[in-house]
Amino acid sequence: MDAIGPRLMLLTPEILLFGAAVVAAVLGLSRRHSIRAFLPIFTCLALVASLALMPITWTETRANEAQLMLPMLGAFMKPLLAAIGILLVLVSAGSVDRGFEAAVARGRTTFDPQRVVAGEFYAFFLFSLIGAMLLCSATDLIWIFLAVELVSLPTYIMVAVGGSSRRSGEAAIKYFFLGALSTAVFLYGFAMIYGSTGSLELQGIRTALAAQAAGSGIDAMALAGLILAVLGFCFKITAVPMHFYAPDVYEGAPTHVTAFLAFVPKVAGFVVLIVLLACVGWTGHSLVDGDGVRVPYAGLPTPLTAVLWMVAVLTMTLGNIGALLQRSVKRLLAYSSIAHSGYLVIGLLSGGAAGIEAISFYLLAYGVMTTASFAAIVALERRGEEINEINDLAGLRHRQPVMAWMLAISGASLVGMPPFLGFFGKVYLFVAAFEADQFALVVIAVLNSAVSALYYLRLATVPLVAPPSARSEEVQLVPSRWPWVAAVVCGIGTVILPGFLNTLVRSAEVTTAPAANTTVESPAADTSAASLSSAASERP
Amino acid sequence: MSLIWTSILMPVIGAGLVAVASPRLSKWISLLATLGSLAALTLFAFEFPAWNNGQHFPLEAGPAWLDAAGIRLSVGFDTVSLLLALLTAFLMPLCIIGSYTAITERVKEYYGWFLLLGASIILAFAARDAILFYVGYEFTLVPMTILIAVYGGTERRVAAIKMFLYTFLGSMFMLAAIIYVAWEHRLSSGAWTFDIDALTATAVRLPASTQYWLFASLMIGFAVKVPLFPLHTWLPLAHDQAPTAGSVILASAMLKLGTYGNYRFALPMAPAGGTEWMVVVAVLSIIAIIYASLICWVQTDAKKLIAYSSVAHLGLCMLGLFALNPLGAEGAVFYMVNHGLSTGALFLCIGMFYERYHTKDTDVLGGLAKKMPVWACFMVLFTLASIGLPGLNGFIGEFLCLGGTFIAEHDGQSGYPGVLGPRFAVIAGLGLIFAAMYLLILLGKIVWGPLREPHHDSAHDHAAVHTSLPTDLNAREILVLTPLAVACIWLGVQPQPMLKAIEPCATRMLAQYPDEVRRLKGREAQMASDAADETNLVQLPQQGEVH
């Protein structure tokens, strides 16, 4: 069980980023303006370097030696986090310390290291990303807990220091307290899981749960622990019942931090949930043990399935209905992000290879299109203030045609309009749901998509079609061009990436690639023959 | 195969060029692109080998788009889809020429979106992969929504949003149904595919109860697009608000996606469901015919009137399809093409006088034959074609649809039993009489009678229009209408070649139906005799008691 060597190799990108974060924190204190302005570029470069390291360090053999639950989950999720992370750095470039830097440039004040936060901001930015990446190589509950806290704690600070408005302080406090509550909930769950299975290691938990399932069924304490853990992580993925903070925090936080919140903690939450549920497994799927024997999974116990089902349905529905009522574009996107979590939980519930792949691909699509819409909003301002009212975007195409188009494209993609990226994410999720016989969920998701068309259509048509008002005439670009660039890159990605669907899906399928000892197998191989014969007998 | 992709990609490339060209140049670029698309399709039609066998050509699968789910870029036509694609490609350049003076603002965007609209409709007709079809089918919404929302009338945003939401909700159900069939295919064969033929082969083997729901969810998607009676309310508003060319493409090509979807997906995939729902659809179609006709009768807005007449006409088309015999299906397909020609032409005619008078109100306008004799000739011709005057194209389709409905009762009639029969045909026939009445009333009001013109009180914008356009049609407008008139007359006089080409397709589409309908009838007969037996059984002891 000496897995330290391969594990350290797997963690090289994170170690590199950690070094970069420390350097960034120091660079931010420099007296020279050019060095401080170099910070976002430095952060980008660090992410690019770690992105380049990932395929080299994350190999199948190492992942297997490290005894991971899903060995290749990180081979997709980590590059995804790094790539979207690069775009998110661009989104935030120029927003942090903006007022102070402008004052320094105009000579109204002298530089004071105590009044700049950019260094800390980018350091925390990287720390949070590191936490999400670490989750991909989690092997035990302690690791998960520490990594999740590493994702969360920096985000509380980012919300507070990322902008200058008073509301961001309120949002940070709210986010912190509710985040701490959710941590308590899932930690309680972890404790119960440990109490029932006697193991903190995921592999050990899996073995114990399989033994319980083979005996008198999964223990009530383990079950309660799993349910509490799932509910606790609902906070990270902004799912019902822990979603209620999202609109307030997303609205109160500076928009570029909101873009971060809408993606990174969500990926982290889904990675944890996938790994955690993989300990129990999905009905109809099997895993191959060390001797090459196929052991069927216990399958998600009914109470857990019921909880996930409720979470999926309520999250989709409340998210979409909530979004209908919003006048603030940030709140609208917050509710939209809740609704998308609901769709993603369908993948979680369906599980198995198809479900995990569908979640991976959907997270990619969601990351690109959500970042496009947030970046377009960050790129705009009205009288030096962030855009908040959706009506401020009216007639945007007269003043900023490119941003108007990017908002329209991301709206069309978020609603699932073919041939944009979001459509294929949805198709993939439906496929997974059908594989798991979740017909009712598909119908509910379909109805929800139709409801979501109402507000996404507004997001897409207000900038393009509505006549400009006196308020919206004052909307202009922010001085920094980087958010504009990020919006254009993501918008073009939404249109172009469906052309490379094969490549993308193959990389998403890596997450469940067969490995030596713990693999989620799709039922295709072993059940297709059986279903063929049963189909033949049922339908002559 | 490359010719098909040429016809789809020419407008897309054209749209790309329009985006960078000057507004003046963009008109000509888009005309060239649509003509190129039409030329490519025409060339393809000349070398199309499957006119007489109802098969698809080319048959080989296209390159993979998404291996994991078996989504392929397969395109190919059978006679029906080729005819509808040709219709679309034929109308596109006419619409573009027809928009030259009507569109004065945001010109480049207009032509760009218009080209994308045409391309996605042709893609939907050409697709042999269900997801590819869905991409074309659904993407039509984006350009159409923008065309209506930006270039439409005073209520344009409401109209655009209503159209989008109705269609989007319907097609999401359709998408779920398609993925469900693909999943069943994966279960039975072990591989994912979205090839329409393979999916159809799988779907017909599903149990009847599954097919019932499958048909229902496919039908929700297509019924919105057709539009069938309770789901039609978006259409008159969309037509009323859309710019002329948008109305033409909406009525002539986009609505056909709904009937085509029935022909290609709903009916062949779920025959057991189709027989169960047949009567419901037929009744809704008849309600659409009668109800829309009655609305037309009291309608004073010329464009809304034609829009409601579309609802009625497509109701008849659906009735023909759901007669479930080759005669009705042939008539329905023939009618799809002809409705596209005559209604499209009527919308163009109305657009032409709207450009001159800025009103479509038939109470304000009248006797235009005196001022615009050439226009009046065309208007009368197309109205008569729409009414279904023998010798013009509308007649054949209507007659066959009604005929198909009429004979859909006699068991054994050319092997296609049905349940509709003369009752349905007679009521639907009433709709034709209504159609003659309201369309002739429209003609009487705006073409003949004393000359009535709107007062030029707000003269500033009228003046601009009057200087740019002569009183009667100019050469450009005549150029737009003439090909349509020729096609209407030609198809009215020579329908036989086209009908012969459609027949094998219709037979192929209905391959499963004679048995299914017989099974349904047998079951009903069985139930009737069971009921009779039961009464006998109940009566027997009673008789014993009496003894």
Chain B residues in contact with A435 (beta carbon < 8 A): 183
Residue A1 lies in a domain: no
| Residue of B527 and A428 predicted with greater confidence | A428
Segment B40-78, tens digit of pLDDT = 999 998 888 878 887 888 877 888 887 777 888 888 888
Token reading at B4: 């098909």
* Inter-chain touch A539–B172, beta carbons under 8 Å: no
CA dihedral (A434, A346, A361, A453) in degrees, to 10, reads 100
What pLDDT score was predicted for residue B538? Answer: 59
| Residue of B105 and A26 predicted with greater confidence | A26
Of A98, A453, A525, A15, nearest in space to A288 by CA: A525
What pLDDT score was predicted for residue B157? Answer: 86
Q: CB-based contacts of B47: which residues, under 8 Å, 6+ apart?
A: none
State the ipTM, two decimals: 0.84
Q: Cβ of A449: how many Cβ atoms within 10 Å?
A: 23
The stretches in chain A having pLDDT less than 70 are 1-3, 164, 283-298, 513-540
Of A73, A82, A72, nearest in space to A51 by CA: A82
Please, how many CA atoms are within 13 Å of residue A478, restricted to the half-sphere of its CB?
29
Chain B residues in contact with A466 (beta carbon < 8 A): 157
SS3 A450: helix
**What b/e string do you get for B330-350 counting C-beta neighbours within 10 Å, with b at 16 or more?**
bbbbbbbbbbbbbbbbbbbbb
* Spatial separation of the C-alpha atoms in residues A360 and B389, rounded to whole Å: 60
Nearest CA in chain A to B70: A502
What pLDDT score was predicted for residue A537? Answer: 38
Sign, CA dihedral B452-B458-B459-B461, equals negative
Element holding A216 (H helix, E strand): none
Least CB-CB distance to B149: which of A446, A450, A461? A461
* Spatial separation of the C-alpha atoms in residues B15 and B31, rounded to whole Å: 11
Q: CB-based contacts of B38: which residues, under 8 Å, 6+ apart?
A: B7, B86, B89, B90, B92, B93
- Displacement of CA A490 from its chain's centroid (Å): 16
Q: Tell me which DSSP letter residue B60 carries.
A: S
* Inter-chain touch B139–A435, beta carbons under 8 Å: no
Q: Cβ of A439: how many Cβ atoms within 10 Å?
A: 14
Nearest CA in chain B to A526: B190
Contacts across the A-B interface (CB distance below 8 Å): 108
Percent helix, strand, coil in chain B, to 5, is 75, 5, 20
Chain B residues in contact with A419 (beta carbon < 8 A): 135, 139
* Inter-chain touch B157–A528, beta carbons under 8 Å: no
Q: How many domains does chain A have?
A: 1
Token reading at A313: 């349905």
* Inter-chain touch A502–B65, beta carbons under 8 Å: yes
Average pLDDT rounded to a whole number, residues B491-507: 88
Average pLDDT rounded to a whole number, residues B227-248: 89
* Spatial separation of the C-alpha atoms in residues B298 and A328, rounded to whole Å: 44
Confidence of residue B463 (pLDDT cuts 50, 70, 90): very low
Give strand ranges (E) for A293-434.
Answer: 294-296, 380-382, 385-386
What pLDDT score was predicted for residue B208? Answer: 87
Residue A70 lies in a domain: yes
Rg (CA), chain A: 23
Please, how many CA atoms are within 13 Å of residue B296, restricted to the half-sphere of its CB?
30
Q: At CB < 8 Å, which residues of chain B contact A?
A: 64-69, 71, 131, 134-135, 138-139, 141-142, 145-146, 149-150, 157, 160-161, 164-165, 168-169, 172-173, 175-176, 179-180, 182-183, 186-190, 192, 205-207
Chain A residues in contact with B138 (beta carbon < 8 A): 417-418, 423
Cα distance from N-terminal residue to C-terminal residue, chain B = 81
* Spatial separation of the C-alpha atoms in residues A263 and A158, rounded to whole Å: 14
Q: Backbone phi, then psi, for A476, in 5-degree steps?
A: -145, 175
Least CB-CB distance to B190: which of A416, A509, A528? A528
Cα distance from N-terminal residue to C-terminal residue, chain A = 54
What pLDDT score was predicted for residue B541? Answer: 52
Mutate to test the interface with A, among B8, B20, B66 (most CBs of A within 10 A): B66
Average pLDDT rounded to a whole number, residues B390-400: 87
Token reading at A197: 């299975």
* Gap from B20 CA to chain A (nearest CA, Å): 14
Nearest CA in chain A to B137: A418
* Spatial separation of the C-alpha atoms in residues B450 and B368, rounded to whole Å: 8
Least CB-CB distance to B168: which of A453, A509, A538? A453
Segment B308-328, tens digit of pLDDT = 999 999 999 999 988 888 888
Q: CB-based contacts of B400: which residues, under 8 Å, 6+ apart?
A: B320, B327, B328, B330, B331, B332, B334, B335, B499
* Inter-chain touch B207–A539, beta carbons under 8 Å: yes
Nearest CA in chain A to B217: A443
Residue A79 lies in a domain: yes
Task: Identify residue B322 by its one-letter amino acid code.
Answer: F
Domain range for A491: 10-538
* Spatial separation of the C-alpha atoms in residues B36 and B299, rounded to whole Å: 39
* Spatial separation of the C-alpha atoms in residues B310 and B341, rounded to whole Å: 12
* Inter-chain touch A502–B165, beta carbons under 8 Å: no
Identify the weakest region by mean pLDDT among A66-75, A192-201, B144-153, B336-345: A66-75
What pLDDT score was predicted for residue A524? Answer: 42
Of A332, A366, A333, nearest in space to A347 by CA: A366
Confidence of residue B370 (pLDDT cuts 50, 70, 90): confident
Task: Identify residue A361 by its one-letter amino acid code.
Answer: F
* Inter-chain touch A501–B66, beta carbons under 8 Å: yes
* Spatial separation of the C-alpha atoms in residues A100 and B325, rounded to whole Å: 78
Provide the phi-psi class of A107: left if phi over 0, else alpha when psi is between -120 and 50, else beta: left
| Residue of B392 and A512 predicted with greater confidence | B392
What pLDDT score was predicted for residue A102? Answer: 83
Residue pair B92/B11 in contact (Cβ under 8 Å)? The answer is: yes
DSSP codes, A128-161: HHHHHHHHTT--BHHHHHHHHHHHHHHHHHHHHH
Q: Cβ of A217: how many Cβ atoms within 10 Å?
A: 12
**What b/e string do you get for A276-292 counting C-beta neighbours within 10 Å, with b at 16 or more?**
bbbbbbbbbbbbbeeee
* Gap from A258 CA to chain B (nearest CA, Å): 29
> Which alpha helices (H) appear in B68-225, and where do they start and end?
79-98, 107-126, 130-139, 141-151, 156-189, 196-203, 208-225
